[in-house]
Amino acid sequence: MLYANQSQSNITVGLQYQGLLGIVMFSTLTSVPCCVFLFINGTMLFTLRSKAVFRETSRYILLYNLLFADTVLMAQSQLMYVLAACRLRLTYPVCGFLSMLANLTKEISPLTLVVMSLERYVAVCFPLRHAAIITIRNTAMAITVVWAFCSLNVLTRIVLLSNVPFKDPDSLKMKDFCGQESILIDPISDLYDKAYTYFLFISAGIVVSCSYVGVMIAARSASTDRDSAIKARKTLLLHLVQLGFSLLSTMHNPLLIAISKIVTRIVLVRIQNVLYMFIIILPRCLSALIYGIRDQTIRPVLVYDLCCQWKNSPLL
């Protein structure tokens, strides 16, 4: 799977061909929006833990889990970008740890979207049983299963990577910038990575799509709350968009390879920075923006928290 840290590696490999001014400019244009998004996500996480209604409602608990994974991935991605922009080369163990962290948090998002879609499906299609099925305990169990499944995948990757021999301590020093492609030395690891990616996104896409179709069918029933069904249908459609953005990030490198055949390296680096912001960073803030604006319960609390955080900022 081509993850965010791989994107940072590919972007900053091209930065070495630019002058200091170019590096500072691109790093600033990338870091400032990322810090803004981290501020929004951090405030949203605080908001979701500030009220009992958020802590005791299953869909808000799932949203917190999704937002937490996206925020960690965003922070880790930007860290990798800054390290590579400064031309700092890591050791394979350190790069492997950061890559596995990116793998873990990256996979949490589509699986959490699957659980959130199923929760909306139950709420519309089985409204009388929703309270009995979607409980705090069951939600916690679902989140635990998601993290356990993703952790198992990370452990499998570590086992595959452990088969790569390192002859001496000097061989642990990376000769290139840290990225996903830098640690997938073994062909078996690369094959497993691609197979798991296909399985994950195809399965998630099928579940979310089926939930959407089920809600559409239920919306035509006279016994179903039509307003609730319409809201759920729009939410599931947004989940499909979010899932599409996650899938799009895995197509980042093949797209750049195709573009590199028709443009110069300097132009390619600029395109890489734009794609990095719109494909890697911006989707990580999508959940906070979507739910912060659409949800009538979250919106007033989030706006209040954002205003208070901004007024108390040491930069003002």
Record the pTM: 0.83
pLDDT for the residue 4: 44
pLDDT in tens, 225-242: 677 777 778 888 888 888
pLDDT for the residue 183: 62
Quote the distance between the C-alpha of residue 221 and its chain's center. Answer: 36
Q: What is the pLDDT averaged over residues 255-270?
A: 76
- Cβ-in-10-Å burial (0-12, 13-18, 19+) of 30 comes to buried
pLDDT in tens, 64-97: 999 999 999 888 888 887 777 777 777 777 777 8
* Interatomic CA distance for residues 16 and 85, integer angstroms: 8
Alpha helices in the chain (DSSP H): 4-15, 20-48, 52-55, 58-85, 92-125, 130-133, 136-161, 180-183, 187-219, 226-249, 252-260, 265-275, 286-294, 298-311
Identify the weakest region by mean pLDDT among 91-95, 168-172, 175-179, 282-286. Answer: 168-172
The closest of 24, 23, 1 to 12, measured between CA atoms, is: 23
pLDDT for the residue 12: 46
Contact between 28 and 6 under an 8 Å Cβ cutoff? The reply is no
Band of the pLDDT at 163, cuts 50, 70, 90? low
Band of the pLDDT at 112, cuts 50, 70, 90? very high
